[in-house]
Every structure is written in C-alpha cells, then in structure tokens.
Amino acid sequence: MKLIDIGLNLTDPMFRGDYRGKKVHEDDLEYVLKRALDAGVERMLITGGSLSESKEALELARSRDYLYSTVGCHPTRCSEFEDTSISASPEVYYEELSKIALNDQNKVVAIGECGLDYDRLQFCDKETQLKYFEKQFQLAETTKLPMFLHNRNTDGDFAKMIRENRGRFTQGVVHSFTGTSDEAKELLDLDLFIGINGCSLKTEENLSVVASIPIERMMIETDAPWCDIRPTHASYKYIKDKPELLFESKKKERFELGLMVKSRNEPCTLRQVLEVIAGVHSRDVQEVAEIVYRNTCRVFWPGTGTGN
C-alpha cells in the first residue's frame, strides 16, 4: 500500500527531542522517518508556516529523496510580513518567500500553508490575516503551484476569499478539515480537495461529515506532531491495528531510541487515518488508498506519470 502524508510539521523541534525549549531526549528524526517508510509512507510533504520555517522545510526536503515541502505563511504568523526585525518591508518578505518557492521546483510542491484562522486571533488580527492571505494567491499565481490551505472558524470569509481568487491558482487542498458537511460541500463546489487527519475524525459528527465527502476529493495527512488519534476519539473503533500494537511507545521522559513517544504524532500513523475513512465509507482500505494516492499525485506531482 502506497501512502503520501500531505501535511506534517517535520521542522517541529519535538522531532529533535526538544519540547517547548527544553531538551528532553536525543534527536530521533532518523527513526521517525524510518518508521514512516516501514509503514508504507512513500512521500511526505513538510509544511512551511513562515519565511524561516519554509527555508528550513526546503532544506530538510532536500536531504531525502522522499521529502517535499511547501512555502508560505500561516495565518497565525501573518504579522511577520510587517515585522521589520524580520524583513525591511512586506514586499521584501514576499520576495523572499517567492525566491524559496522558485528555488527548487522538484522539492517545493505547494504554496502554503496559508489561509485564515479566527480561533487564534491573539497571534494575528483578522485584517492582517486577510491582507496576507490575499497576497499569497499572487505567489500561487506566479509560481503556478497548487495551494495548501488552512481554515478555522472563519464564518464564510475563507470561502469568500477563495471564490474571489479561484481563477488565480490551479489546484488546492484545505488541510485538517473540521467543518460541517455544508462547509465541505462549499469547498468541493470551489473545486478544492479536502485533507483529513486525526483532528478531522474526533467526534461522531466529524465522522458523518467525512462520510459525506467523496473519496475522489480527499487527501490524507497526519499533521504530526499534532492530531494523533486517541482511544477517546470516535474514530478509534475503526482502526484495525491499534496504535499501541503498531509501534511501541514510551512517555518522553522514559524515551528509548527506536520507540515512538506517547502523544507525539508521527507520519507512521498515516494508515490509521485511511482505515477510519475506509470504515466510515464502508470501502476497502486498499481501494481507498489507491484513490487518495492518485488524487495527491495529480495535484502535487502533475506530469510525472504517477497521477494516472
């Protein structure tokens, strides 16, 4: 079974043993990647959420042939555009992003993550978010790359922005979807794909929304180190290989090299997301995997032959 994780934050210090600035265990990134490959994850897309993170994501992507990256600025980081301690002006910030995006066309496969997040306005106000979300359509337009999108609790503003700018980009995926069926339908009508991870599958309501989304319009992600599927989630009953059986894990304080760390999600759990989707759609896991794989290649690796 071939799987592609379209969203993981591999630049997160947790994968180096660093938790909120505190070194808890040794760097085990190599083991994280090996577990993912062993679990059938054949490509991984590292999300860049700011200028510096996009640089770092690309650097990491270049170190392994199966890693790729996005370039963009997350809505909660949008004030960076105007932060003169980072760049001289918003135009300079934009130009820097653009340079990274055009730097390695084999490795940078999307613009993002960008979008709107009204759950976390304390990091960046609405007006600033809207301004620089808009700006990133320009980035997609000039680079001709698809978009990796983020949307949280925006009461129609996100869909409105997409509608107004839909002609400026080719394809896009709204990752970590947690909205209603009506919201999903709205995005599908805008010809976007929907990215599903453990956070999209927490409640029974979430599951019935996922059941309403055609598999032909879905992609899968882990959003690691976040969004792990837990025994308390509605999704858990659909997992065939329960996580604790799949790979042994220890609490970070009792870290052992070669084992997973409890509640730090990893790309090796991607198959669980797939099993839940197959479960709620009453479809064969292998069949769902093939459809999702094809969707993903068509958007992020068009013209490579893998999309057929």
Ligand X SMILES: *[C@@H]1O[C@H](CO)[C@@H](O)[C@H](O)[C@H]1NC(C)=O
Contacts of 96 (CB under 8 A, 6+ apart): 51, 87
Tell me whether residue 202 or residue 271 sits nearer to ligand X (CB atom).
Answer: 202
CB of 112 to ligand X, least distance (A): 9
Size, binding site for Zn ion by CB under 5 A: 2
CB 307 within 8 A of CB 301: yes
Q: Does 175 bind ligand X (CB under 6 A)?
A: no
Torsion of CA 297, 298, 300, 305, to 10 degrees: 60
Residue 151 burial by CB count (10 A; 0-12/13-18/19+): exposed, middle or buried? buried
Does the annotation place 53 within a ligand binding site?
no
CB of 153 to ligand X, least distance (A): 8
Contacting residue, 150, 202, 264, 271, with Zn ion by CB under 5 A: 150
Reference 196, options 287, 53, 295; nearest CA is 295
Binding segment (CB under 6 A) for ligand X, from list 26-34, 195-203, 257-265, 282-290: 195-203
Does the annotation place 223 within a ligand binding site?
yes
Q: Does 178 bind ligand X (CB under 6 A)?
A: yes
| Backbone φ, ψ for residue 15 (5° rounding) | -75, 0
Q: Does 47 bind ligand X (CB under 6 A)?
A: yes
Q: Does 77 bind Zn ion (CB under 5 A)?
A: no
Q: Does 256 bind ligand X (CB under 6 A)?
A: no
Give the count of alpha carbons within 13 A of 64, CB side only: 17
Structure tokens at 134: 């808009």
Binding segment (CB under 5 A) for Zn ion, from list 37-45, 147-155, 179-187, 264-272: 147-155
Q: Does 180 bind ligand X (CB under 6 A)?
A: yes
CB of 148 to ligand X, least distance (A): 9
Binding segment (CB under 6 A) for ligand X, from list 9-17, 61-69, 187-195, 264-272: 9-17
The partner residues of 193 in beta bridges, in order of sequence, read 173
Q: Does 202 bind ligand X (CB under 6 A)?
A: yes
Q: Which of residues 159-218 bind Zn ion (CB under 5 A)?
A: 176
The partner residues of 71 in beta bridges, in order of sequence, read 111
Q: Does 206 bind ligand X (CB under 6 A)?
A: yes
**DSSP H/E element including 141:** helix 126-143
Residue 61 DSSP one-character state: H
Tell me whether residue 170 or residue 180 sits nearer to ligand X (CB atom).
Answer: 180
CB 234 within 8 A of CB 206: yes
**Terminal-to-terminal C-alpha distance of the chain:** 16
Which does residue 150 touch among ligand X, Zn ion, none (CB within 5 to 8 A, set by kind)?
Zn ion
Q: Does 49 bind ligand X (CB under 6 A)?
A: yes
Tell me whether residue 222 or residue 289 sits nearer to ligand X (CB atom).
Answer: 222
| Backbone φ, ψ for residue 195 (5° rounding) | -95, 130
Q: Does 263 bind ligand X (CB under 6 A)?
A: no
Binding segment (CB under 6 A) for ligand X, from list 7-15, 138-146, 189-197, 262-270: 7-15
Which ranges constitute the DSSP H helices of 48-198?
51-62, 90-103, 126-143, 157-165, 181-189
CA distances from 47 to 7, 70, 111, 157 (A): 6, 5, 9, 23
Residues that bind Zn ion (CB under 5 A): 150, 176
Residues that bind ligand X (CB under 6 A): 9, 11-12, 47, 49, 53, 74, 113, 178, 180, 199, 202-203, 205-206, 209
Q: Which residues are annotated as a binding site?
A: 113, 150, 175, 223
